[in-house]
Amino acid sequence: MNIKFLLPKARAFIEKGKIPKRASQRFRGLVPLQHMLPTDGYIDRVEEATKDDIVIMSKAIEVKDFLYLKNKGIKFVFDICDNKWRMGKDRQKNTAIMNAGCLHANLITTTCGQLKQKIYEETGKDALIIDDPFERAIEEPTFKPHKKNLNICYFGGRKSFWLVNWEEVIAGLNYVCKQLGVEYTLNCITQKHLIASKKITHHYYPDGPIIMYEWDYELQKQLVSKSDFVLLPVPNENPLVFSYKSPNRVIDSIAQGKYVITTNGVISYEQFGDFIGLGSLQRNIKWAIQNPKDVISKIKEGQKYIQKYHSPEVIAKQWMSLRDKI
């Protein structure tokens, strides 16, 4: 059996030499595929699948896609990486897709224990956890903040960015940086930056050192690499959505040798508590500035952890093991 990830519209990016913007297509498909069998791959549409395939279905799918595969006798896995039950503008449709996928799938996979529990609560079905890998090469840990200016980087999807309480975050940055006697620059990279920048500039910080960038795969790498640390505040709104998120942003930042400072709210982040600053942004920024050698040690230990549990090779083996489970 061949494993085929259903990645709608990904081919259009790949054939142009571009990286797909949808993170789930990379973490839950393209990255592990680099270490899987040559016969494994991805498809754009369910109609491309054959009875020799096990199709991995995640996002941008409809109920009719599940039914098509079932009627054709093609085995498929429903990979759930977000809580979409009764969520979003079209709540009924999202819930119907989630329930249909869980009902008809030969196997259900997910990203973390919290979603595994949610799936069981909603459907009574068990799910197999397959972690997200890091997608960038491991880099030497660095933490040498300039004495007069902190270079901070935030990256995340449009919704993650939009729902962050930036007024609160920026007030905290202003307070702690004033205490430390430093200035700061906050580089934010996300989708649809023109819309997002109106929010952060006009509503929350009319005269601050915020620089907005529209997401680009290589640009994200550059901004993270030159930053002193990565700031990932968790949105206060829609906690039922964000509490189930994968830790892929934390994992990828650690891979790039960067210290992560984040707030509470994403349960999967807690397993990295020994390697990141989790909780109060102000307290963790102050601690990091005052303990640079300890920061480096934490990053190094974090890299050991993700290489053991989240390398693309390790995650590829988890996906390939599905052949024995179906």
Pairing of strands 183-190, 75-80: unpaired
Given a cut of 60, whether residue 133 has pLDDT beyond it is yes
Contacts of 55 (CB under 8 A, 6+ apart): 4, 5, 6, 43, 46, 49, 69, 74, 75, 76, 77
Looking at the fold, whether 221 and 123 belong to one and the same domain comes out as: no
CB contact at 8 A, 231 and 186: yes
Run of H or E residues at 24: helix 23-25
Domain membership of residue 142 (yes or no) is no
Q: Which residues of 23-48 are buried (b: 16+ CB within 10 A; e: fewer)?
A: bbbbbbbbbbbebbeeebbbbeebee
Confidence of residue 60 (pLDDT cuts 50, 70, 90): confident
Confidence of residue 157 (pLDDT cuts 50, 70, 90): confident
Distances (CA, A) of 208 to 171, 201, 219, 228, 298: 11, 8, 22, 18, 30
Nearest CA among 54, 56, 44 for reference residue 8: 44
Q: pLDDT per residue over 286-300, tens digit each?
A: 999 999 999 999 999
User: Are both 282 and 319 inside the same structural domain?
Assistant: no
Region 260-288 average pLDDT:
95
Mean pLDDT of the chain: 91
Q: Report the range of poorest mean pLDDT among 202-211, 245-254, 300-309.
A: 202-211
Is the confidence at residue 206, as pLDDT, over 60? no
| pLDDT tens by residue, 23-34 | 999 999 999 999
% of the chain surpassing 90 pLDDT: 71
Asked, for residue 141, whether it belongs to a domain, the answer is no
Where residue 202 falls among pLDDT bands split at 50, 70, 90? very low
Domain membership of residue 140 (yes or no) is no
Residue 201 above 70 pLDDT? no
Question: Is 296 found in the same domain as 161?
Answer: yes
204 has a pLDDT exceeding 50:
no
Looking at the fold, whether 187 and 261 belong to one and the same domain comes out as yes
Residue 203 has what pLDDT?
Answer: 46
Rounded to 5 degrees, φ, ψ at 77 are -110, 130
pLDDT of 263 strictly over 90? yes
More confident residue, 201 or 273: 273
For residues 35 and 102, membership in a common domain is answered with yes
Query: Is 144 a member of any domain?
Result: no
Give yes or no for a contact between 227 and 151, defined as CB atoms under 8 angstroms apart: yes
Residues 123 and 170 grouped into a single domain: no
State the Cα–Cα distance between residues 172 and 297, nearest whole angstrom: 26
Q: What CATH number corresponds to the domain at position 11?
A: 3.40.50.2000
With a cut of 70, say whether residue 148 has pLDDT above it: yes
- pTM tops 0.85, yes or no: yes
Is residue 138 situated within a structural domain? no
Categorize the per-residue pLDDT at 233 as very low, low, confident or very high, splitting at 50, 70 and 90. very high
274 — pLDDT class (breaks 50, 70, 90)? very high
Residues 302 and 202 in one domain: yes
Task: Please report whether residue 48 resides in a domain.
Answer: yes
The boundaries of the domain holding residue 6 are 2-132+312-325
Which residue, 82, 89, 87, is CA-closest to 119? 82
Q: Are 9 and 116 in a shared domain? A: yes
Are 109 and 30 found together in one domain? yes
Query: What is Dmax (Cα atoms) for the chain?
Result: 66
What pLDDT band is residue 43 in, cutting at 50, 70 and 90?
very high
Residue 108 and residue 19 in one domain: yes
More confident residue, 83 or 200: 83
